[in-house]
Amino acid sequence: MAEGTAPSTDRRAPEFGEILDDGTVVDELGAHVSVAGGVQHAPERARDIYSLNVQVFTKQPNRWAEPELAPDRVEAFGSERAARGLRVAGSHDSYLINLASPRADLWERSLASFTAELERCAALELDFLVTHPGNATDGDHASGIERNAEGVGRALETVQGPTRVLLEITAGSGTSIGASLENLAAILEGIPEPQRGRVGICFDTCHAYSAGYDLVDDYEGVWAEFEDRLGLDRVGLFHLNDSQHPFGSRKDRHEHIGQGSLGDEPFRQIMTDTRFTHVPKVLETPKGDDMVTLDRKNLARLRGYRRDG
Query: pLDDT per residue over 112-156, tens digit each?
Result: 999 999 999 999 999 999 999 999 999 999 999 999 999 999 999
The enclosing H or E element of 168 equals strand 164-168
Residue 67 dihedral angles phi and psi, to the nearest 5°: -70, 150
Q: Is residue 202 within 8 Å of 165, Cβ to Cβ?
A: no
Share of the chain above pLDDT 70, in %: 91
Alpha carbon distance 162, 105 (integer Å): 29
pLDDT at residue 1 is higher than 50:
no
Pick the CATH number of 32-308 from 3.40.640.10, 3.40.366.10, 1.10.3720.10, 3.20.20.150: 3.20.20.150
CA atoms within 13 Å, Cβ hemisphere of 300: 10
Torsion of CA 110, 38, 75, 88, to 10 degrees: -70
Q: 282: which strand partners?
A: 30, 239
CA-based nearest residue to 53, from 74, 22, 32, 38: 32
Q: What is the mean pLDDT of the chain?
A: 93
Task: Render pLDDT for 158-191 as a digit per residue (tens, 0 to 9).
Answer: 999 999 999 999 999 999 999 999 999 999 999 9
Dihedral angle sign, alpha carbons of residues 113, 153, 89, 26 = positive
Which pLDDT score is estimated for 21?
65
Q: For 190-202, how does the pLDDT look when each residue is reduced to its tens digit (9 = 90+)?
A: 999 999 999 999 9
The model's pTM is 0.93
Residue 169 has what DSSP assignment? P
From the list 99, 102, 105, the residue with the least C-alpha distance to 117 is: 99
pLDDT of 98 over the 60 cut:
yes
Considering only CA atoms, give the Rg of the chain.
Answer: 19
Q: Which residues pair with 84 in a beta bridge?
A: none
The rounded distance, in Å, linking the Cα atoms of 13 and 15 is 6
Q: What is the mean pLDDT of residues 29-43?
A: 96
Predicted local distance difference test score (pLDDT) of residue 308? 81
